[in-house]
Structure 1
Amino acid sequence: MASHLDLEEQEQLDQLKAFWKRWGNLITWLITAALAAFAAWQGWNWHQREQAAKASAMYEEFDRALTAQDADKAAAAAADLRAGFAGTGFAAQAGLQVAKLQLDKGKADEAKQNLAWVAEHGSEPPYRDLARLRLAGLQLDAKAYDEAAKTLDAIKSPEFAALVADRRGDALLLQDKRDAAKAEYQKALAGLDKTQDYRRIVEAKLATLGVPTVVETTGAAQ
């Protein structure tokens, strides 16, 4: 009986040896690869958390400068965020906010540079498109109509469609293309929700072009 068991065990052992000889290296490599992938994933998560913490701390420094209305310090902090954490939302937000502060301080050229960076490198499409919309406004102020048109063409987010049409209307009106401007303003008005206050601004622009506003139309009907 013992001899029979020994033979059976030996046969199983031989089968195991044969199996391992054939597949052992592959199994070892697969296990090693899986462990390496898991370690890399863990390391990536740790790195992401560490980067996010550092970016957050740097953004707090930027926010202090912004609150103090110190354009130079805010610009420096925003530049540090771009240099170290370009792919984060913190860098994009800082770029948009510092551009507004610079514009308030009369530093339009610097504001354009920050908006151009966000438009090109912002971490998310809404950041990039918001930067383009604001950049187009500054380009219109500088009478750079062709540049503004190209900037507006690059905006693809559907939620910005009405504002893009409004900005196109501004560009056309500045070039004295009144009928084309009117069409763009009407497109903008149609795309804005009736609860949005910005509709009043678009309606006012249309009124200057001889298009009755909703209020005027209602009044006339009464």
Structure 2
Amino acid sequence: MAYDLEEQEQLATLKAAWKQYGNLITWIVIIALAGYVAWSQWNNYQNNQAGQASQLYEELLKSVTDKDAPKILRTATDLKEKFPSTAYASMGAFVTAKAFFDSGDLKSAKSQLQWIIDSGKSEEYKVLAKLRLAGLLLDDKSYDDALKQLTGEFPAELQVQVEDRKGDVYVALGKVTEARKSYQAAIGKMTDKDPIKQLVQLKLDAIGGGIESASK
């Protein structure tokens, strides 16, 4: 697919911005969303098991702060094996995936996210894991695999993030029209107060977004 010089420059600009800021932004958004889901589920699941899982999760956070890799993995494994039905098991997998990512162990990071997708009990967590895994696959240039993670039915409250990530993958593939549609779909589902609306709008503008451009 051929593009004019202006579109090529726009794609190059957006790809460079993603490389510099994309991972930091998406990790922050996903960990924040995961924390919100955990808080919601805590209100509906306050029992002894959740309390024990909470203690293990706190140990995991301390291990991450201390950068104690063996303890991080051991505690995350305990959470998944002993309390797989709690929100903290998936939360622990997210935190562990982030720790592995920061250390450059992308294979282990992907494994943690895949566990959430395969064994997590919360549909919201599964979607968040798919979003983050799609981001890692995008970085690996495994674009088709990234899009597979973003295919299917998703909760309404997370469709913005799904469309945004689809746009990122389409940009990497050079599919400007599809990228515009995804970014526009994401923006259309957001309010002016949404914290990532400006970011998505910037990405859309970088590829010549807007109603007029989308109709080309």
Both structures adopt the same fold (TM-score exceeding 0.5): yes
Alignment partners' CA distance in 2, 1:126 and 1:192 = 18
In structure 1, give the amino acid aligned to 2:188: A
CA apart distance, 1:140: 1.0
Corresponding position of 1:113: 111
Alignment partners' CA distance in 2, 1:64 and 1:172 = 38
Other structure's SS at 2:150 match: helix
Corresponding position of 1:208: 206
CA apart distance, 1:49: 4.2
CA apart distance, 1:155: 5.3
Alignment partners' CA distance in 2, 1:135 and 1:74 = 20
| Equivalent of 1:60 in 58, 61, 66 | 58
Deviations 1:61-88 (A, max 9, x none): 2122022233332122101111111111
Tell me if structure 2 keeps the 8 A contact 1:118–1:128.
yes
Alignment partners' CA distance in 1, 2:105 and 2:77 = 16
Q: Percent identity?
A: 36
CA apart distance, 1:212: 5.7
Alignment partners' CA distance in 2, 1:211 and 1:152 = 22
In structure 2, give the amino acid aligned to 1:74: I
Alignment partners' CA distance in 2, 1:147 and 1:82 = 25
Alignment partners' CA distance in 2, 1:138 and 1:188 = 20
Other structure's SS at 1:153 match: coil
Cα RMSD (Å) of the superposition? Answer: 1.9
The answer to whether structure 1 residue 144 and structure 2 residue 142 are counterparts is: yes
Corresponding position of 1:90: 88
Note the residue ranges of structure 1 that are not aligned, 5 or more in a row: 1-47, 214-222
In structure 1, give the amino acid aligned to 2:64: L
Corresponding position of 2:67: 69
Tell me if structure 2 keeps the 8 A contact 1:89–1:124.
yes
Deviations 1:84-126 (A, max 9, x none): 1111111111001111121122111111100110112112111
**Paired residues, number:** 166
Deviations 1:28-79 (A, max 9, x none): xxxxxxxxxxxxxxxxxxxx94433432332232122022233332122101
User: Greater CA deviation, 156-165 or 61-70?
Assistant: 61-70
Alignment partners' CA distance in 2, 1:199 and 1:50 = 40
Tell me if structure 2 keeps the 8 A contact 1:132–1:155.
no
Tell me if structure 2 keeps the 8 A contact 1:133–1:151.
yes
Task: Give the TM-score of the pair, scaled to structure 2.
Answer: 0.71
Note the residue ranges of structure 2 that are not aligned, 5 or more in a row: 1-45, 212-216
Task: Give the TM-score of the pair, scaled to structure 1.
Answer: 0.69
Corresponding position of 2:194: 196
| Equivalent of 1:181 in 179, 193, 204 | 179
Alignment partners' CA distance in 1, 2:191 and 2:161 = 12
In structure 2, give the amino acid aligned to 1:150: K
Larger RCO, structure (CA 8 Å, separation 6 or more): 2
More helix by share: 1
The answer to whether structure 1 residue 165 and structure 2 residue 163 are counterparts is: yes
Alignment partners' CA distance in 2, 1:71 and 1:164 = 31
Alignment partners' CA distance in 2, 1:212 and 1:49 = 50
Q: Which has the larger radius of gyration?
A: 1
